[in-house]
Amino acid sequence: MEPEKPGFTIPDPELFARNMVKVADRGQRLMQGFVNQQIKRQAAPPELGDPNRVHTIAPAFLDLAKHMLSNTSYIIEAQRKIWPAYMQLLQTTTRRMLGEKLPASVTPDRTDKRFRAPEWSESLAFDFIKQSYLLTSNWLMQTVTGVDGIDPANARKVAFYTRQFVDAISPSNFVLTNPEILRATLTSNGENLLTGLENLLRDMERGDGKLAIRMTDMDAFEVGRNIAITPGKVVFRNPLIELIQYTPTTKTVYQRPLLIFPPWINKFYILDLTAEKSFIKWAVAQGYTVFVVSWANPDDELANKTFESYLLEGVYPALDAVEQATGERDVNAIGYCIGGTLLTTALAHMAAKGEDRIKSATFFAAQADFSEAGELKVFIDTDQITALEQKMDKAGGLLESSEMSNTFNMLRSNDLIWSFVVNNYLLGKEPAPFDLLYWNSDQTNMPKEMHLFYLRECYLNNTLSKGEMVLGGEKLDLGKIKIPVYLQSSVDDHIAPYRSVYKSTRLLGGDTRFIIAGSGHIAGVINPPDAKKYQYWTNDDLPDDVEKWRAGATEHPGSWWPHWHKWHSTKSGKKVPARTPGGGKLRVLEDAPGSYVKVKGR
């Protein structure tokens, strides 16, 4: 028989009992506060991504039920698959109890962090709980996603919300079925639950009745002190943007400046987290004159800004400012995520007007064709957008930062919700300092009209790829974009899947390079060479199907940044003396990272 861990014992039963009384008391306070807050909020329209939005979710599951019930053989076959799996697990567990060494019937995915505590494998009881859950959850996901005939939009909702349910009921999320929590509860006489409830109450108060989970030590970081610290100056400012020019670290630089448009859903310093992770610092070190747009965090005064405003008051003024700062009219540009979508519209707008100021473009995880966009499409349909519009109207024309933050967290609920529920509330621990999670929690507001335009025109109607989008008085035709383009995607990106990014190769009219990097939407982009992590794939051919591209691609270890630099440097002109911020026609306004990035969202 396999040895079990020593029994779970309570060192001080009296103290444990007292603490459980305190836990019950704090639980009552928590529940009363929650109920009071819901009473206050009951008249508010539902929010984007709110899992309680039954009126948008229920039709999807009704569609599922209709197609399942019309195919009884499918239901019978699904049942036939699960019961033998349960029987095998029971037999394997029984034989292990008798001392046999047998492999597990089912194991977690290699990326699944929930079951890494040794007791999940070393204790027969908890191993059985774990395997039972994995068998059931895998079977449930396979069953609901294998139904034929269901509407594709409904199928996405069914899969997404079934995954949310499956993640929520994991035994790792409960005291009695998680050995790590159970042991901590007994050995600490319940102090972990007491501390965890205090953490939960504090987070509820911080979120004004909504749960605002702390993912990191928010006091451990400060923008401009230990993150976003690459030296530079703000050289231009208008109500929508600050433009940062970074201080050169080489005696000579490429003649053509590099202008970066980051997403405004998050803050620009994802590209400048720390010296070791900073793409900006690395690009400066390669000899580029780097400019970065720092978008304003919209308040009531900017609530009326539109997507067109971001083009006409963001892209074009930034280009003019770079010319004033360097004397160079021609630039190369980078667009990241929605910043890349904006850059695409800008290039098409310039092409329509016969302008060619941007000589090459690089796109980080950016989409132009949204027909196969990522998991955010689950939240985007006519009903949900209407509800979102009502919510933004009530908030004064802004989508408050917490709303999109909650939505993005749901896309990776095990990593960004349940792991912190376990750590902060059940184990009673403080979250560890982590720069990336600090950035993830430093969200921005979004103007109503801009955001609704993006959701409707891109995600819902896909007008940009169809040549139907109109901005700045011009109808946008992506085929008129003839400049060289470098498309970066990531193999595990759930927001801008590589399949979606690849579609731009069929839309753009110039020479296009496409790569797939290892990891996801953030780590796939922020992967410095010195880290020696992940890999990337290249293929000079661009077949119609991205899977054919992958089949013929070559894998390379490590970061894709040097590959990009080799491509980009040939588009950047000769070397000239390095340019110091303030050395041109623009005066220095303040040190990087500027003021706009320090404004907190609601």
CA distances from 368 to 238, 486, 497 (A): 27, 14, 12
Please tell me which residue in 227, 296, 337, 507 is annotated as part of the active site. 337
Catalytic status, residue 458? no
> CA 500 to CA 344: how far, in whole Å?
14
At 456, is the secondary structure helix, strand, or coil? helix
What does R_g of the chain's alpha carbons equal in angstroms?
Answer: 26
Residue 217 tokens, joined? 């030590």
DSSP E strand stretches across 393-503: 398-399, 446-447, 470-471, 474-475, 485-490
User: Which has the closest alpha carbon to 411: 373, 457, 449, 452?
Assistant: 373
Decide: helix, strand or coil at residue 206. helix
Number of helices (H) and strands (E) in the chain: give both, helices first.
Answer: 23, 17
As a whole number of angstroms, the distance between CA 152 and CA 599 comes to 40
435 alpha carbon, distance to own chain's centre: 15
Burial class, 149, CB count within 10 angstroms (exposed 0-12 / middle 13-18 / buried 19+): exposed
Residue labelled with tokens 């098409």:
348
Alpha-carbon gap, residue 181 to 198, rounded angstroms = 17
Gap between the Cα atoms of 314 and 471, Å rounded: 14
Distance CA 223, CA 435 (A): 10
Pair 315, 342: CB distance under 8 Å? yes
Query: Active-site residues: which are they?
Result: 337
